[in-house]
Chains A and B, each alone.
Chain A
Amino acid sequence: MNRIKKIYLHPLPVRIWHWINAVSFIVLIVTGLQIRYREILGLMNFRTAVDVHNFFGFILIFNFFLWLVFYIVTGKIRIYLPPLNFRKFITGCVKQARYYGYGIFMGDPNPHHATPDNKFNPMQQMAYLAIMLLLIPLQMITGLFLWDMKLFADWINLAGGIKIVDTVHVFLFLFFTSFIFVHVYLATLGHTVTAHIKAMVTGYEEMEEERGH
């Protein structure tokens, strides 16, 4: 029988960042929906929704830089960077995709074993690299532009107009909304349903240690 081992996967700053991020995302999505669909939703008035959205938008921006500084200073940023060996990366992606699409149903072991230095499987690496270094910054920038169109008028002009900026912001909002469902579901795929979630609270990930490993 596999033994359970605990590894310290998520340092405290990362956990704080994650949960601030999580709360911000939820609030931003809800208030974003309220702003966009005022005639359908009646959770709060428009002004409150905008104010709360702006507040949490800035929290998210601040939090992002907290994350960025922490990961750069500690050098942990490399866990987001795929290996230089492209073939190995692609093979890893395929293996991981095969696991989620087939192996997980057949009871095959997860091909990726998270360690503090190699936390993400190749698919996560690819997804989080795009999210953290491309999509969230883009969402923050477009959000900033929408927050004060006069102040960022020249940048908005450079981006092709406010309508394009808004479309990008809304598209990413929809993407993040749908991603959260997948993200939460994937968080339940630890050795127990709550293993990954607990890890993000305590920092310690419980995982089965297969005999022979």
Chain B
Amino acid sequence: MIIKSSETKVEKGTLALVLFGPVFGLLYIFLLPLTAAITLLLAIPEYASARKATVLENSPMCITCHTSKGLEKIFMNRERLSVFVYTDDFNNSAHTFLRCTDCHGKVSMATHPGRAFASRSAFELETAEVCGNCHTDRKLRANPVHAYLTNKINAPPLCTKCHGAHNVKRIAEWRPAETGNQHCLICHEQKISKRLNNGEKLSLYIDETLLSASVHNRHACSDCHTDFSMKSHPLKKFDSSRKHSIAVSVACKKCHPDKYTAVSRSIHSTMVREGNLKAPVCTDCHGFHSVGPKAVYDTMSGVPCRKCHENTFKVYSQSVHGMARTSGEHKAPLCSACHFAHEVEAAAMTDKIRKACLGCHKEAEDAHKQWLPNSALHLSAVACAACHSPDSEKGIYLRLYDQNTGEPFTEEQMLELLGINYEGLSGRMDAHGDGIDSSELWNIVKQLNRKGADARITFLGRMDISNGIDAHRLTIKKNAVKECYSCHNTNSDFFSSVTVAVVKADGRITRYDAKPEVLGSMISMLSIKDFYVLGSTRLRMLDWLGILMVFGGILLPVAHITVRILTSPVREAKRLNRLRKEGRR
């Protein structure tokens, strides 16, 4: 019975499933989406009305107070900040859908308005940090402009600095009319910076006043920053601020190709290519965005050379040229008058400076002829500063030069001819490291003039100032050396210091100390055969020979007279004998 009854129940259930199953299935398939659609449709007006909700509606309690003008927050450092909120600003902002507490989350009615901040900046920092709740670092990194801001060590400005506080808008909406430089300055007029690979901080701040005052004030930022535009802001990475300067200086070439070419031939550029990070590039002298007119750099205060050559500039300032310049004598030369502004070359041991001197002092050659014997010879073998900077340290510089070409024989030529490297050369020049002696000097000349060599190499001497700084210590004419004796004696300062100066192709020199006695050695007749200073470079051996010869010249007659005196009795006896013989006849 029980079994029968249960079978009847099963039959009824199956029938119900067959009848109502499809109905429920259809309802499930169509009814749920329908319900969802209806719900959504019902929600749209609500959503729309929420977007358009005003701050008054969103945060009516806050607005009650913060729409009162004159309401101020006083910080612990006595700074004041108006806490008045322009509701219109907020209503027109990108954040109009938010409630005040969405950003000012720490405000609690239990404590408000009692929260204390040390300063206005502390308050701004806390409120700006809230932005990160929605605008996460991950999102910011996707935008090159903001990418560096995500790294806190770059000391990014507060979000509110660029975007404002309650009036925050998208940039495009914020300053839609601002194009060109103003577009860039939206961010770059802020004190923003970025960290470079070596940890240095590179300021990206542009002082608009300096930019406006510069000679480039009519240029668009993208004229120099060519790969940047309103649509493109590539992320660039630099190892250091120096590498950054070197990289950006290339931009100058676009408008100043002649100057750029001149600079690329300069000693500065050579040093940059060699990896010397202290050597200047365009921006080191002219600045980045504050490039001034030429006249700015041609003043005592504006000359950029002094940044690196401060010691030289100090000496120059006290020189006849520097003082004339300071007193307003505009003809007096500043650095670039002698060294040139862009094609700066190594000055030591060259004729370039002499030519620069004579370029202004056109009468100097004739003036020297009036009183200085062999003036042309003096002017070629003695540096101008050697006499016109009388208190400076002086010395003799021996340079290798090729008699066939009349040109200096360079270090590069030496290395090639000898088949050695730079370190090897140092060993050959001064094997014992105690200063080059006369045999070593001769050895160098001998090796360079070996059979088969095209050049005829010898050392040429030059009287010069020992260091470049002293070369700027030029004095007034009446204080210049005019006394021949100053140089033409062995005790002259010049001859206590002898340096072998090996000139590189770019004009720089490698200095090797030499022993002063090399000038008076007999071997120097062969190694320094074209350098001779009357009375000063005399050969010591010749002095001894002279003493011997003169002594011999005196001794011979004295000895002869002595023998004659001693033998006079013999002659007297002989004379008497002869007289006696004559008497007998």
Contacts and interface: CB of A to CB of B under 8 A. Distances in A.
B556 A175 contact: no
Contact of B549 (A35, A39, A161, A178): A178
Contacts, number: 112
A181 interface: yes
A88 interface: no
Nearest to A1: B582
B199 interface: no
A167 B539 contact: yes
B535 interface: yes
B529 A163 contact: yes
Interface stretch (B313-321, B371-379, B430-438): B371-379
A146 B537 CA distance: 14
Given A105-B564, A107-B574, A185 B556 contact: yes
Contacts of B539: 167, 170
Contacts of B575: 107
Contact of B553 (A1, A38, A182): A182
Given A1-B582, A162-B530, A177-B549, A182 B374 contact: no
A165 B531 CA distance: 11
Contact of A150 (B377, B485, B524): B377
A166 B489 contact: no
B560 interface: yes
Contact of B491 (A39, A146, A171, A179): A39
B377 to A, nearest CB: 5
A106 B553 contact: no
A123 to B, nearest CB: 14
Contact of B377 (A149, A163, A184): A149
Given A107-B570, A171-B542, A178-B549, A37 B535 contact: yes
B557 interface: yes
Interface string A35-50: 1111100000111001
A90 B531 CA distance: 44
B582 to A, nearest CB: 7
A170 B542 contact: yes
B468 interface: no
Given A105-B571, A150-B374, A178 B532 contact: no
Interface residues of A, number: 40
A192 interface: no
Interface in A150-203: 150, 157, 160-164, 166-167, 170-171, 174-175, 177-182, 184-185
Given A107-B575, A161-B458, A175 B549 contact: yes
A176 to B, nearest CB: 10
A46 B490 CA distance: 13
A108 to B, nearest CB: 9
Contact of B550 (A38, A157, A160, A174): A174
A148 B374 contact: yes
Given A39-B490, A107-B571, A162-B529, A45 B524 contact: no
Interface of A: 1, 35-39, 45-47, 50-51, 100, 104-107, 146, 148-150, 157, 160-164, 166-167, 170-171, 174-175, 177-182, 184-185
Given A46-B489, A178-B550, 4 more contacts: A50-B484, A107-B574, A174-B549, A178-B554
The 8 lowest CB-CB distance pairs between A and B, nearest first, are A161-B529, A178-B553, A185-B557, A107-B571, A105-B567, A181-B553, A46-B484, A174-B546
Interface of B: 373-374, 376-377, 403, 458, 484-485, 488-491, 524-525, 528-532, 534-535, 537-539, 542, 545-546, 549-550, 552-554, 556-557, 560-561, 563-564, 567, 570-571, 574-575, 579, 582
